[in-house]
Structure 1
Amino acid sequence: MLHCHFCSRLSNCRITEEGYKALASALRSNPSHLIELDLTGNDPGQSGVKKLDDLLQDPDCELKTLRFLSPDAEEACQYVRGIVGKNPLLLRELDLSKHELGDTRVNQIAALLQDKHCQLDTLKLRDCDMTDEGCSAVTSALKSNPSHLKDLDLSINEIRNTGVNHLCDILKDSHCKLEILRLRYCMTDEGCSAVTSALKSNPSHLRELNLSGNKLGDSGVKNLSDLLMNPQCKLEILDLWKCSITEKQCLILTSALKSNPSHLRDLDLSRNKLGDSEVKNLSDLLMNPQCKLEKLHLNDCGITDVSALTQSLTNSKALQFLKELDLSDNMIIDSKQLRDVIRDSNCTLR
């Protein structure tokens, strides 16, 4: 029997997930005639891509080339496959942390992220030696396809100027459903101000925010406080470790938290010089009957007096929820009463 071998180009045809499934089914029933298939620029789902990808494993299939991506994105796809052992188009989570990507590789990764075939929920690019140019390329790519992403980590890279602007555009986009944002050690105080301002306009999805290692500055603290006071804000984890927060700035933050305390479960203010006065304000937060804080980290905060904290834990229901209280590396004069209050609870004191 004579088979006709040919190429098929279906790029930019708005083929959906169902269309990919139907195409895969048709090709599986008569697979021997097609040697090249170009599907770049369409809108598939993962299951459609997987069915077509599985065709390449069929011994009766003579398909030599199955093209979903642009050349740069395909290069990135092969690079990622070499690291994680799977086709990234079939992944929901991609972690390339601590890989020195370099500008060329970052641009390829950006091309992959921009493609509609890539539908990641989680992207982790922590400590990838990215410059502002690389961060700009990645955040620009994410701008074009923001609706799937739920978890983004760009920590320990240099996000400056255009990178921050693109990131802010994502955060303000009504299609953005980001739940976890980690930006440790990567921004100036101007960048922190811009990011916290952007978060105020789309607050309802975010559940975890990590800005540790960045200097917030007065503007960043003010914007973050506005976010925390918003009734739509349902933030559960807030990490501000080593953010150069002053006593005055901490007062602003704790006042904001007291106005909307019911969602927060984990608060880290370690390595900020808060002093005893701000521990009093945090104690007032714990006194709030709506407060359900489970973890409070105050490591190395210049605390000497915990009497207010002890009183708040004695006279409130906070210990029903509190599981961990970290007061390590403080010069506390007398903590015996606090230890006695916590002793019979489920809370661990460090």
Structure 2
Amino acid sequence: MKLNNCELTEKSCSVLATVLSSKTILKEMNLNNSHLLDSGVKEICEGLKNPVCELKILNLRGCSITEKQCLILTLALCSNLSHLRELDLSGNKIENKGVKHVSETLKDVRCKLERLRLRSCDIKADDFSALTSALKSNPSHLRELDLSGNEMGQSKVKNLSELLMNPKCKLEKLVLCGCSITEKESLILTSTLCLKPTHLRELGLSQNKIENTGVNHLCDVLKDSRCKLERLSLNDCGITDVSSLTQSLADTKALQFLKELDLSNNKIGDSKQQLIDVLRDSNCKLR
């Protein structure tokens, strides 16, 4: 069910709650960019709490969800967690307590969430610590984590790195686009990825000024024989030279796995030709 960009009234939310509370085959509800009032959120949550509700995907991106509404939502989800696999709360300023409410949901042993998107949620340092702690306590189901548009800084990247180090962490897709990550933070992240084999297959670092030094750190990951990255996004990262990246791809088995490499909007100059030559000679399937 998709109701994007809708002005949902309390009455229409009540109808949605009725649908959720009935034995339907509804597995996905997409309300992106629909302004939800407190009363509307309460109505929808009544449906989510119903034991017959088997919703797997809930998208509430840009719904003006407040801290208070986030509490109502997470309480509802905690009462009926076993089916939900994907939650998107991107673009909502859920603030301090809102992030902590989400964290409480993630800690619940019944939570089997596989994809969590919290893009541009203005997550502060303390709240980020609570979030990663929750994920560390129950990490085995999560496959995708998107935190794009949240300023990271070294302390947050360290918290995230600790999550990746958890033996039970099965994260396959990590997206950190536009997170103000510099070469310093990229070193923390890549050092972690080099320390232990991970399940990571997709890494998004676009719109971060990691520059050439940051790319050199990433090369250490690509050189690791345990690396099985399939997609690497470095769009608009202030990169001017990809010689080291080219050498890493030429000298390792990384190209056996790498399917997509995004270097758009980087002024890489003459080093571009070296990369093109290596890719052509390798007969890889890179896009």
Task: Give yes or no for TM over 0.5.
Answer: yes
1:121 to 28, 53, 56: 56
Aligned AA (2:182): T
Aligned to 1:347: 286
**Mean Cα displacement is larger for which, 265-274 or 159-168?**
159-168
Aligned to 1:212: 148
- Tell me how far 1:208 sits from its aligned partner: 0.3
Is the aligned partner of 1:164 residue 2:99?
A: yes
Aligned to 2:26: 91
- Tell me how far 1:188 sits from its aligned partner: 2.4
Aligned to 1:143: 78
Alignment size in residue pairs: 274
2:36 to 90, 101, 104: 101
Are the equivalent residues in 2 in contact too, given 1:231–1:260 (CA < 8 A)? no
Mapping 1:252-291, distance limit 5 Å: 252-291=188-227
Are the equivalent residues in 2 in contact too, given 1:171–1:198 (CA < 8 A)? yes
Aligned AA (1:318): A
- Tell me how far 1:340 sits from its aligned partner: 0.7
Aligned AA (2:39): T
Is the aligned partner of 1:309 residue 2:245?
A: yes
**Mean Cα displacement is larger for which, 219-228 or 129-138?**
129-138
Are the equivalent residues in 2 in contact too, given 1:192–1:216 (CA < 8 A)? no
Call closer, same or farther: CA 1:119–1:77 in 2, change over 3 Å: farther
Call closer, same or farther: CA 1:251–1:145 in 2, change over 3 Å: same
Are the equivalent residues in 1 in contact too, given 2:66–2:98 (CA < 8 A)? no
Aligned AA (1:171): L
Aligned to 1:64: none
Alpha-carbon distance between aligned partners in 1 of 2:218 and 2:202, rounded to the nearest angstrom:
13
Alpha-carbon distance between aligned partners in 2 of 1:114 and 1:162, rounded to the nearest angstrom:
21
Query: Which structure carries more relative contact order (alpha carbon 8 Å, separation 6+)?
Result: 2
Aligned to 1:180: 115
Alpha-carbon distance between aligned partners in 1 of 2:18 and 2:279, rounded to the nearest angstrom:
50
Alpha-carbon distance between aligned partners in 1 of 2:71 and 2:156, rounded to the nearest angstrom:
21
- Tell me how far 1:262 sits from its aligned partner: 4.2
- Tell me how far 1:148 sits from its aligned partner: 1.8
Are the equivalent residues in 1 in contact too, given 2:23–2:52 (CA < 8 A)? no
Residue segments in structure 1 that go unaligned for 5+ positions in a row: 1-72
Alpha-carbon distance between aligned partners in 2 of 1:198 and 1:263, rounded to the nearest angstrom:
19
**Mean Cα displacement is larger for which, 126-135 or 313-322?**
126-135
Aligned AA (1:179): E
- Tell me the secondary structure at the aligned position of residue 221 of structure 2: helix
Alpha-carbon distance between aligned partners in 2 of 1:80 and 1:274, rounded to the nearest angstrom:
46
2:67 to 124, 128, 132: 132
- Tell me how far 1:133 sits from its aligned partner: 1.8
- Tell me how far 1:93 sits from its aligned partner: 1.8
Alpha-carbon distance between aligned partners in 1 of 2:167 and 2:123, rounded to the nearest angstrom:
28
Mapping 1:244-255, distance limit 5 Å: 244-255=180-191
Aligned to 2:161: 225
- Tell me how far 1:89 sits from its aligned partner: 4.8
Are the equivalent residues in 2 in contact too, given 1:184–1:210 (CA < 8 A)? yes
Identity %: 54
Alpha-carbon distance between aligned partners in 2 of 1:245 and 1:261, rounded to the nearest angstrom:
23
Aligned AA (1:174): V
Alpha-carbon distance between aligned partners in 1 of 2:29 and 2:185, rounded to the nearest angstrom:
36
Alpha-carbon distance between aligned partners in 1 of 2:128 and 2:170, rounded to the nearest angstrom:
20
Larger Rg: 1
- Tell me how far 1:87 sits from its aligned partner: 5.5
Alpha-carbon distance between aligned partners in 2 of 1:217 and 1:144, rounded to the nearest angstrom:
34
Are the equivalent residues in 2 in contact too, given 1:193–1:216 (CA < 8 A)? no
Aligned AA (2:121): C
- Tell me how far 1:296 sits from its aligned partner: 0.4
- Tell me the secondary structure at the aligned position of residue 279 of structure 2: helix
- Tell me the secondary structure at the aligned position of residue 46 of structure 2: helix
- Tell me how far 1:152 sits from its aligned partner: 0.7
- Calculate the TM-score normalised by the size of structure 1: 0.73
- Tell me the secondary structure at the aligned position of residue 171 of structure 1: helix
